[in-house]
Structure formats: structure tokens, C-alpha cells
Amino acid sequence: MKKFFYSLILLVSLCAIFTCTGMTAKEQVIGSDNCYIVDYNSGRVLYAKGENEKKPIASMVKIMTLLLAFENVDSGNLAFDQKVTISHDAARQVGSEMFLDEGQEYSLSDLIKGIVTMSANDASVAVAELIAGDEISFTKVMNDKAKSLGMNDTLFANATGYPTKEEQYSTAKDVTCMMRALAGHKEYYNYSTIWLEDYTHPSGRVTQMANTNKLIRHYKGCDGGKTGYTDSAKYCLAGTATRNGMRVVGSVLGANDSKERFRAMSSLFNYSFNNYSKVVLVKSGSPLSIDVKVSGGKKDKLSVVAKAELSVLQAKGESAPKLEYNIPESVKAPINCGDKIGEVYAVVNGNKIAVCDVLAAEEIKKASIWDYVKKIM
């Protein structure tokens, strides 16, 4: 009887092994019905499933709230140490909150911390009011920003994602798009990597902040993301992770429970890191091996450089990426060092998947009459 039992276990195990090995790498991805992941640098799609289906996204709406806050700091309209007086509307928010005191002043940095770590609805409304005066006006700013990012299947109704009578929805593709934009702000990681913190309010009261994104602790390389949950949206997650110089950004919508969303995102990360490698085509500031003719200048040729690093993720067994240039044959003087001259593209399988600006590496002044005389002589 024991021999039969062990033989049965062995048979089942072998069947499982052969079944798994017969699956492609993509088939082994344990994602939700709505998931999407891309290369951060180029935006190249690494895996997609049901990415354009419109669904509620719960608190992942706050990714846009955060993005607008960081952009306003970058533009000089706001400052991280700026004081924000908490309104009645902000303080009375329900659901996830950091328990802000009405009438008290909090720094914008602390409000951002509350949104990133514990998905605070009260802090989200306070930031919305700071930027646009009120939450309704801020919602218009959110939708305008979504359109500018190409998020054509997204509609925001508030700054928090809390259920409302008004229609609101997004897609896995659009969520990944705004998460990718947020991941471009270096200051964001000062907040997104916080795991636990005892926050002291101006009144002296203490609230423990616990990060809702468990992957920053349990997945090597994950350093950012945003969770979401409502009855209609179910369990959602957007996240970003980096390994071996590669950064990927993805999202999972509509998981049945919290563990499932974290498993699904981990699986998307694993698939990306296991099947793609980073290829640097052009280093930031490196000279390009092309010369641009100059008309009417003291010099006849202009040297050019790449504005930033141009890199892509290359799949295993895929043909090497190539470079293509969109640069005029000739430019007219005067030219300042740093002027944009054109663009250089990374091309994979005939598709342009990444682009970088090409800049003038030197100053070339307009030629004088004496310069023309010297050329003739």
C-alpha cells in the first residue's frame, strides 16, 4: 500500500513538472484578469492582460493626487515645508485617514507621507484644496493631467478614490501610466520606502503610520507603489521595482483578496526580471558619432551629445536594439551649447520604443564678414 501511495505522489509530481515546463514564460505569470507592466525607461510593454478594461481603482486614484503635488513642488508653486491649514472638509473624511486635526497646520511633506504610506483620505483632500482651492476644482486638474499623459480611459471624480455617486474609473494601462510618471520623482522614494513610523501631530498626539504596500518589505527591489480597495474595485495594486539597473512599473486590478494582488504583482516583477535585461545604447552626455553641418557659422560642423541615458529592456533571444536618428543635415548659426538639435531612437523589431533628445555639445557663433574672407583666402 505504501509503495502505491509513493508511486502516486511521484506520478502527480512528474505530471506537474511536465505541465509547467510545457508552459511559456508568459503563461506562467500569475496575474489578475487586468494587469500591465512596462519598462520604466522606455515604456516598453513587458506583459499585458485585460489592460484596457475600465474598472474602479479605489485609492490608486491618489497616485494622481501625489503626482500633481510633486509637480507643483518641482515648478516652485509649492514647497515640502509649506504649512497647510486643515479644513473642516478635509478633517471629516472617512475611510483610511491619518486623523488630521481641523484648524491645525501640517507641512505638505507630512501630508504626502500620510497619503503614500497609509493612503490617508483626509491628507488627500487637504492637498487637493491646497493646489486647486477645493476638491471639485482639483478633480478637473486631475482629469486634465490624465489627458495630457494619454490616459484616455480614465475619469476621476474625487482626490481619494472613495466611492461616490459620480462615475469614476480607469484601466490597468492608465494606472501604470500615472504610476510611471510618479516614479520619475526622486523625492517620492523618501516616502514610499517608509515601513512603520510613529507620527506626532502638532497637538502632540501620535498616529502610527504603516505602509499598505507590503511588497516594499517582502519583495527585493520593490521601493514604491499604491494599494487600493473598495467592494466594487476589489483589491488593487500599482508598484515599481528595480534590479540590476532595471526599473519596471506595473499594476494589478480586481484581485479577490489582498494576498492575491501581492502575489500577482510579484509574479509580474519576476517575469520581467527573469526574461529581460537592460541594454544601454547611449550614455547620458556621451558624444554621438555623427557630425551636423553648420551654415553661417564660425565652424562648419557641430558635435552633439545625448541629453540622457538611452536604454531598453531586451528580451532573451531577441535581436539587438538599433539606433535611428532624427537630426537635420544642417543647422543655422548661431547655436548655443545645450540647444536641442534632434532626437535619437531605440528601435526593436522595427518599432521605436525609446527616445532621447540630442543636444549641441558646443557653442558656434554666427560667422562675420572677416570669417568668410579667411575661408576664401
Name the residue ranges covered by the structural domains of the chain. Answer: 34-278, 283-376
pLDDT score at 125: 98
CA angle 125, 66, 160 (to 5 degrees): 40
Residues recognised as catalytic: 59, 62, 119
Order of all β-strands in the sheet with 322-326: 322-326, 340-348, 351-360, 301-306, 287-295, 330-332
pLDDT score at 329: 87
Phi then psi for residue 247, to 5 deg, are -120, 130
pLDDT score at 23: 45
Residue-level length of the chain: 377
Residues β-bridged to residue 295: 332
Those residues with Cβ within 8 angstroms of residue 363's Cβ, 6 or more apart along the chain or in another chain: 334, 335, 336, 337
pLDDT score at 377: 66
pLDDT score at 372: 64
Q: Tally the C-alpha atoms within 13 A of residue 263's C-alpha that lie toward its C-beta.
A: 12
pLDDT score at 29: 64
pLDDT score at 298: 86
Coil, helix or strand at residue 181: helix
Nearest Cα residue to 353 out of 327, 305, 315, 307: 315
**What are the distances in angstroms from CA 133 to CA 111, 121, 127, 143, 304?**
16, 17, 9, 16, 45
pLDDT in tens, the chain (377 residues): 444 444 444 444 434 433 444 445 565 566 679 999 999 998 999 999 999 999 999 999 999 999 999 999 999 999 999 999 999 999 999 999 999 999 999 999 999 999 999 999 999 999 999 999 999 999 999 999 999 999 999 999 999 999 999 999 999 999 999 999 999 999 999 999 999 999 999 999 999 999 999 999 999 999 999 999 999 999 999 999 999 999 999 999 999 999 999 999 999 999 999 999 998 999 998 899 887 999 888 889 999 999 999 998 889 888 888 999 999 989 998 999 999 999 999 998 888 888 999 999 999 888 777 766 666 76
> What sign does the dihedral 279-283-284-287 (CA atoms) show?
negative
Question: Does 3.40.50.620 match the CATH number of domain 34-278?
Answer: no
Query: What distance in Å separates the CA atoms of residue 265 and residue 218, rounded to the nearest whole number?
Result: 12
pLDDT score at 17: 38
Coil, helix or strand at residue 255: strand
pLDDT score at 27: 58
pLDDT score at 18: 34
CA angle 116, 119, 120 (to 5 degrees): 110
For residue 291, give the C-alpha cell: 557630425
Coil, helix or strand at residue 200: strand
**What are the distances in angstroms from CA 211 to CA 59, 180, 193, 285?**
13, 20, 8, 38
pTM: 0.85
**Superfamily name and number for 283-376:** D-Ala-D-Ala carboxypeptidase, C-terminal domain (2.60.410.10)
